Structure formats: C-alpha cells, structure tokens
Chain A
Amino acid sequence: AQTVTQSQPEMSVQEAETVTLSCTYDTSESDYYLFWYKQPPSRQMILVIRQEAYKQQNATENRFSVNFQKAAKSFSLKISDSQLGDAAMYFCAYRSGDNNDMRFGAGTRLTVKP
C-alpha cells in the first residue's frame, strides 16, 4: 500500500525567508501524481502545487516549488519569500494514476514569524 510520510510535525520561518517542507512516499507504481495542499486554520484545503511522476522537471507555482526526487521517493516543498498568509497546515498527498483515492501525510504545521 502506498504511504506518505511527513517527518516534520511543525516548522517555523521568518517572514520573507525560505522554508522547505519534507515529504517521502512509498510506492511500487510508476504512474502517479503528487500534491501539496494547504489547510489554513478553520478554512478549506486548497491545492498549492502538483507534480506528475512522469515529468522530470520540478513543478513551480510563483513562490512555491518542489524538489521531486523520483528514485529517492522524495517530494519536498520550498516556499520562498514567506508571507504571513502562508501560515497553515501543509499536507503532502499521493494519488495513483489508476485510482481515485488520495493518500495524505500527517501534515506539517507552518508558522510564519513577522
């Protein structure tokens, strides 16, 4: 079964600095998708960034980028120029190409210090 591990329960970053959130996953499949979702306090979860496993190029969305290491099964999220609004729970998620259930990690709570 596919598992997703986020080894950092909490992280903090100074406003305007860069922070990296870690995620590893376990799978024997070659066709899959990886996601980072953000869940602000008492608000709904929104997609931050998505990576297709078949793409070698790391995905980037404005201040958010990933470091996708397929052989190492690692999928970290880098947030540059951190803003107060980035404070939230961040969940790494895996989805098989053929299935529809998404497997989530336990999350990392990010605090941004002014």
Chain B
Amino acid sequence: DTGVSQNPRHKITKRGQNVTFRCDPISEHNRLYWYRQTLGQGPEFLTYFQNEAQLEKSRLLSDRFSAERPKGSFSTLEIQRTEQGDSAMYLCASSLARYRGGEQYFGPGTRLTVT
C-alpha cells in the first residue's frame, strides 16, 4: 500500500492555458474525491467518483473543470482556460465504499499557480 499519489506536485501555468492533474488512489479503494484548498482555508469538495461513475459535483466545479476516472482506477482533473483564481492546492482522496463513516485517505496534493 503506497498511499494516494498525485502528479505533478507543483504546476505553474500562464492564464488561459489548460492543465491536467492525475491522482492514483489506494489500489483497492473504489471511491475517489477531489478537493480544492486555498491558502488559509480548509479543503472544499469538488467532485466524487464511485468506481468510474462521477456521482456528485459541487457547484464550485465550473464548466472549465472536468474530471474523469475512465477505468475506475486513476483519475484526472482538467482545468481549461485557467484563471488566477484557480491558483490553489488540489487534493485527491480515496476511500472504501464498504464503510459509511470510512476514512478518506488524502494525497499530497498538486499546487497550481496561475500567473
């Protein structure tokens, strides 16, 4: 069990560019979550997958954001036409559906800076 991994760890991009982040959950976990964390704040929920199905999306997830989990394993989060307000830490977490109150295991995050 190597934990949740995220790549890249840091991304600097110019406004208007597209970026894509990857998350590899713990191998047996069927639930995967994306959060956004801005400086000095707690994480905010963006979206959640159970296996390959995207079951919940926050209103924070604008049309410029899209997430996929094509084979129920790794997930990608793409941001199109980035804006300076997108600068944040993007966290991925995974869990087992078996336990309703189960722990979400977090990855180290991808820090996005939009210049």
Contact = CB atoms under 8 A, between A and B. Distances in A.
Interface of B: 3-4, 31, 33, 35, 40-45, 48, 55-56, 58, 91, 100-101, 103-109
Contacts, number: 55
Interface residues of A, number: 24
A33 to B, nearest CB: 4
Contact of B104 (A99, A102, A105): A102
Interface of A: 4, 33, 35, 37, 43-47, 50, 52, 91, 93, 95, 97, 99-107
A99 B42 contact: no
Mostly, the B contact residues are loop
A45 B103 contact: no
A97 B58 contact: no
A101 B32 CA distance: 11
